[in-house]
A and B are shown apart, each in its own frame.
Chain A
Amino acid sequence: MKDIMRAKCLISAEIESLINQQIRKEAQSSAIYLAMASWCDRNGFDNSAAYFFKQSDEERHHQLKFFKYILDMGGTSVSPDITGLKIEYNSFREIFEDALDQEISVTQSIKSIAARCHKEQDYVTLEFLNWFFKEQREEEYKARRAIELFEIIGEQGTGHWEIDKHIGKIQYDSEA
């Protein structure tokens, strides 16, 4: 009997559904960063607002990369609806702690897609995921560095102003 399913679609139904969940996660990240940009802007942290606007764009880009991958492989990508976003934050620092949490959870969920790929011997999707692993290295590095600024500069006096000034300068330039 012919394997019609395989001829129509490279990825399995399970991988397709995991990537669709990832699409939702990336869309959620993008929306969260936008909410963070809004809070920073309203509270006078212009550089941080710009930083989060840029992060939001990047997450949208990740979302589309996953979205197009499913379509290219012959599957069905689903445009997610995002609800229940946090709009207010208790402190400037809380934003960066939430941002790191978000990135850690994104790394974790990409890892579980990879685990499934190993199980199915889906080396094609695994190779596709490599780009995201490298990206997550950078995202987590930047989020961690931002929190470290709070330790190094301190939050007293003009601390927040100083931290905001340095947020835009965080860069990850590993050759590896």
Chain B
Amino acid sequence: MQVIETIDSQVKLQEVFSTKSGSVSQCDRENCWYIDFAGKVSRFDYRCLLLLKKAVYNIDIEALLLKNAKSADIEIVFICASDHFYVLSTLEIIALKELLQGTFTMLELNHIIQDRLYRLAV
């Protein structure tokens, strides 16, 4: 995986997954992820990342697409007990979902690699 240098050279980020609309990187030292999406970079710990996943996966995209065009095409993704929130259009929600799905697949893959290779070897 590609290693990205941040402004603070001490903190090494590894890209987990990226699409043309955003990227997710992991910081091993801080045990967290940085999500670069919709023009901002936000830091998510384990609990918040799972809450974001749940919030985004629970959005009924089909219903949004079929919604009366007169109302604003805007959805607020808000995560309880954190300062994270996104104000997104339907297309952005689809893009964020794609980004998260890829991210969780890569994290799962990383888990399998860790389990089957490293943990057995040491």
A6 to B14, CA, bound (A): 17
Contacting pair B110 A8 (CB below 8 A): no
Q: Does B6 contact A (CB under 8 A)?
A: no
Q: How far is the CA of A3 from the CA of B110 in the complex (A)?
A: 7
Q: Is the CB of B28 within 8 A of A8?
A: no
Task: For residue A131, give the distance in angstroms from its CB to the closest CB of chain B.
Answer: 26
Number of chain B residues whose Cβ lies closer than 8 Å to a Cβ of chain A: 14
Binary flags per residue of A5-34, CB closer than 8 Å to B gives 1, else 0 = 111100000000000000000000000000
Query: Is B111 a contact partner of A1 (Cβ separation < 8 A)?
Result: no
Q: Would you give the shortest CB distance from B102 to chain A, in whole angstroms?
A: 15
- When each residue 20-33 of chain B gets 1 if its CB lies under 8 Å from chain A and 0 otherwise, what string results? 00000010100110
When distances are taken between beta carbons in the complex, the residues of chain B under 8 Å from A3 are: 107, 110-111, 114-115
Residue in B1, B32, B115 whose Cβ sees the most chain A Cβ within 10 Å: B115
With contacts A1-B1, A2-B31 taken as known, whether A76 is within 8 angstroms of B26 at the C-beta atoms is: no
A: interface residue count bin:
under 10
Whether B14 pairs with A1 at a CB distance below 8 angstroms is yes
Complex Cα–Cα for A5 and B113 (A): 13
Nearest CB on A from B82, distance (A): 15
Asked if B50 is an interface residue, CB under 8 A from chain A, the answer is yes
Pick the contact of B28: A2, A6, A76 (CB < 8 A). Answer: A2
Report how far A5 CA is from B107 CA in the complex, Å: 8
Contacts of B114 in A (CB 8 A): 3, 6
Bound CA–CA A4/B46 (angstroms): 8
Taking a contact as CB atoms under 8 Å apart, the answer to whether B46 and A1 are in contact is no
Please pick, from B26, B32, B50, B115, the residue contacting A1 in the complex, using a CB distance under 8 A.
Answer: B26
Q: Hey, which chain B residues are within 8 Å of A6, CB to CB? A: 111, 114-115
Tell me, in angstroms, the Cα distance from A7 to B50 when the chains sit together: 14
Contact with B along A52-84 (1 / 0, CB 8 A): 000000000000000000000000100000000
| Minimum CB–CB distance for A83 against chain B, Å | 20
- Among residues of A, the one whose C-beta sits closest to the C-beta of B31 is A4
Q: Name the residue of chain A whose CB is nearest to the CB of B116.
A: A121
| Whole-angstrom CA separation of A114 from B107 in the bound complex | 24
Given contacts A1-B28, A3-B107, A5-B111, 7 further A-B contacts (CB under 8 A): A1-B14, A1-B110, A2-B26, A3-B110, A4-B26, A7-B31, A76-B50
